[in-house]
Amino acid sequence: MKNIYHVLLLLFAISFTGYAQNSPVESMESGGDLHMGRNDANNPCISKQQYEAIEKSFAANEKTLDIDNKGKKKTTATLFSWPLKMTNGLNDCSYYFIGNYIDEDTTSPGIKDYNCGTVTYDGHRGTDIGTMPFPFYKMDHDQVEVIAAAPGTILDKIDTSFDKNCAMNNLTPNYIAIQHADGSVALYYHMKKNSLTTKTVGQTVVTGEFLGIVGSSGSSTGPHLHFEVWGTTAYNSLKDPWTGTCNLLNANSWWLSQKPYTEPAIVSASVDSALPVMPPCPATETPNEDSCYTSGATAKFVIFMRNETIGDSSHLRIINPNNTTFTSWARKSTTSYLNSWWTWTKVLPTVAGSYTFEAVYNGDTCTKKFAIGCGSVPNSITTTNLLQLRVFPNPANDKININDEGHDNGIYKFTIKNMLGQTVLSDIATITNNTIQKSISISALPNGVYFMIIETEKARTLTKIVKQD
Ligand SMILES: [Zn+2]
């Protein structure tokens, strides 16, 4: 087997060198199904005992809060915004997939989602929204926030449970429940330990307000949000927010704007120094993404897809600094996947500058910037090549500006790191007239102290910056 592999590899290498000189890049496609943890009938999100405990807690807290008698209950219907958002410098094109809808089939083991499909498991009562790619990396770096889908009062909350589960178990989850003006309740389940809002039971939240970070606490096979809706505080008042032919629970959609049943898309297009490392649950993945490469080096061009559909085509392109095409290629989908990933190895351009990796699929364009000629920062920086740059305002609220004249032309790389040394933002700029004029949005970062590193091939500087409201 090994010998056959070697022969094939040799044949492949020979056939390649035949035309490699005429082709600007070499390419070899690999990838396929991207395994993401999804709960199933053998690993249900919430056990019977856990539902009993939740119902008991809801009833007790509702009585204490006295929501009924405060005249807060209105007949107005509750409408939901999307309960997740990406943050902390995540600049992918999306970040989620729907692993399971509500099971509308009351027979066992029959399953049917609101759209009469089978994206559910027997007895499932919520919408499972998983994060992708790199769900544990996203969780460790607080990159996907759970936010209030509708305004209301905190009815119940647990925040101190272990959060890296990979299967069904009886461990306590981290969750928050919000009761809305009409008496209905939304349950946000499986969150990261100690990530929840500091607000307590009885306090109110507005739509879009931070509730916590997507995690894998309770019975969970990987970081995801289980979003479940009850009409009242009673277990048997389940609602399905998705309107469709097979929704037997309620006629109307509870979404302000209901998303399509499937959303075929390129979630992330990245340029990587090596293939991403994706160990099994619960180990944290290593994305290996980089924005700086040396002239003529090779890099991995990687796309992560959601709902890839057979027969569809993706069009990929490396765009030169002057907007012409360095190289382009396409791939046709021969199989449908819930989640998939594809990678190509390419020899990079030799001309320094700011490039773009572009991936077009299903009418959407997903891009990622990278640079040639800024990849080799010297290890020892002497005072003669220390960059002196004006960074303002500092402290800053939404934007950090770097404006200065009389500097070397070339590629400048900007990296913002948090106090743990983790990169939370990175950007690049090409300086052509000895004048640096760069503005970096930091509005998505939590308040706190950060370090900004600005570097060229020859020099670098480190500036302490403070983000505050
Ligand atoms: Zn679930």
DSSP string, 262-313: ---EEEEEEEESSPPB-PSTTSPPB--B-SEE-TT-EEEEEEEEES--TT-E
What is the Å distance from ligand 1's center to 227 Cα?
7
CA of 170 to the centre of ligand 1 (A): 15
- Separation of CA 239 and ligand 1 centre (Å): 14
User: How far, in Å, is the centroid of ligand 1 from the Cα of 126?
Assistant: 5
Ligand 1 centroid to Cα of residue 128, in Å, is: 5
Grade residue 383 by pLDDT with cuts at 50, 70 and 90.
very low
pLDDT at 152: 96
> Does the pLDDT of residue 25 top 50, yes or no?
no
Digit-coded pLDDT (tens) for 135-147: 999 999 999 999 9
List all residues 6 or more positions away from 81 whose beta carbon is below 8 Å from its beta carbon. Answer: 147, 149, 150, 207, 208, 256
What sign does the CA torsion over 146, 188, 227, 239 have?
A: negative
Distance CA 162, CA 173 (A): 8
Spacing, Cα 182 to ligand 1 middle (Å): 24
CA 263 – ligand 1 centroid, Å: 19
pLDDT digits (tens, 9 = 90+) for 91-131: 899 999 999 999 999 999 999 999 999 999 999 999 999 99
DSSP state for residue 66 in the 8-state scheme? T
Average pLDDT over residues 227-247: 97
How many Å lie between the centroid of ligand 1 and the Cα of residue 120? 9
Report which residue type is found at 250: N
Ligand 1 centroid vs 339 CA: distance in angstroms? 18
Report how far ligand 1's centroid is from the alpha carbon of 175 (Å): 12
Q: Confidence band (pLDDT; 50, 70, 90) for 84?
A: very high
Give the global pTM.
0.78
Q: What is the pLDDT at residue 27?
A: 61
Q: Are 218 and 228 in contact (CB under 8 A)?
A: no
Bridge-based pairing of strands 435-441 and 410-417 is unpaired
Ligand 1 centroid – CA 240 distance (Å): 13
φ, ψ (nearest 5 deg) of residue 58: -55, -50
pLDDT of residue 323 exceeding 60, the answer is yes
CA dist list (Å): 8 to 15, 208, 331: 10, 54, 22
Task: Kindly report the backbone phi and psi dihedral angles of residue 467, in degrees, each rounded to the nearest multiple of 5, phi listed first.
Answer: -100, 125
Tell me the CA–centroid distance for residue 201 and ligand 1, in Å. Answer: 23
pLDDT at 438: 86
Q: Tell how far the Cα of 241 is from the centroid of ligand 1, in angstroms.
A: 14
Architecture of domain 383-467: Sandwich (2.60)
Element spanning 135, H or E: helix 135-140
Cis peptide before 282 (omega within 30 of 0): yes
Question: What mean pLDDT value characterizes the chain?
Answer: 87
Query: Where are the domains positioned within the chain?
Result: 48-239, 263-372, 383-467
Of 12, 30, 22, the C-alpha closest to 302 is: 30
CA-nearest of 469, 405, 459, 460 to 432 is 405
- Measured in angstroms, how far is the CA atom of residue 224 from the centroid of ligand 1? 8
SS3 at position 363? coil
Q: Is 2 helix (H, G, I), strand (E, B) or coil?
A: helix
* Helices and strands, number each (H, E), in the chain: 3, 27
Find the 79 Cα to ligand 1 centroid distance in Å.
20
Q: Do domains 263-372 and 383-467 have the same CATH topology?
A: yes
**Contact assessment for residue 345 and residue 327, using Cβ atoms and an 8 Å cutoff:** no
Element (H, E) at 412: strand 410-417
Q: Provide, for the chain, the percentages of residues in helix, strand and coil under a 3-state DSSP scheme, each rounded to the nearest 5.
A: 10, 35, 50
Ligand 1 centroid vs 40 CA: distance in angstroms?
8
Separation between Cα atoms, residue 333 and residue 204, nearest integer Å: 47
Ligand 1 centroid, distance to 205 Cα (angstroms): 23
Picking from 408, 411, 389, 385, the residue whose alpha carbon sits closest to that of residue 400 is: 389
Distance 92 CA to ligand 1 centre (A): 25
CA atoms within 13 A on the CB side of 150: 25
Distance 225 CA to ligand 1 centre (A): 7
- Tally the residues of the chain: 469
Q: Which CATH number fits domain 263-372: 1.25.50.10, 3.40.50.2000, 2.60.40.1930, 3.40.190.10?
A: 2.60.40.1930
Does 399 have pLDDT greater than 60?
Answer: yes
Compute CA distances 179 → 140, 201, 229, whole Å: 29, 10, 10
Residue 124 alpha carbon to ligand 1 centre in Å? 6
Task: Give the C-alpha separation, 223 to 219, whole Å.
Answer: 11
Fold of the domain spanning 48-239: Glucose Permease (Domain IIA) (2.70.70)
How many A from CA of 198 to the centre of ligand 1?
24
Tell me how far the alpha carbon of residue 99 lies from the centroid of ligand 1, in angstroms.
8
What integer pLDDT is reported at residue 448 of this predicted model? 81
Beta-carbon contacts of residue 404 (< 8 Å; ≥ 6 apart) = 388, 389, 390, 435, 436
Residue 324 has pLDDT above 50, yes or no: yes
Q: Which of 10-14, 83-87, 361-365 has the lowest mean pLDDT?
A: 10-14
Decide: 116 and 105 in contact? Cβ < 8 Å: no
Q: What is the number of alpha carbons within 13 Å of residue 443 lying toward its C-beta?
A: 4
| Pairwise CA distance, residues 8 & 78, whole Å | 61
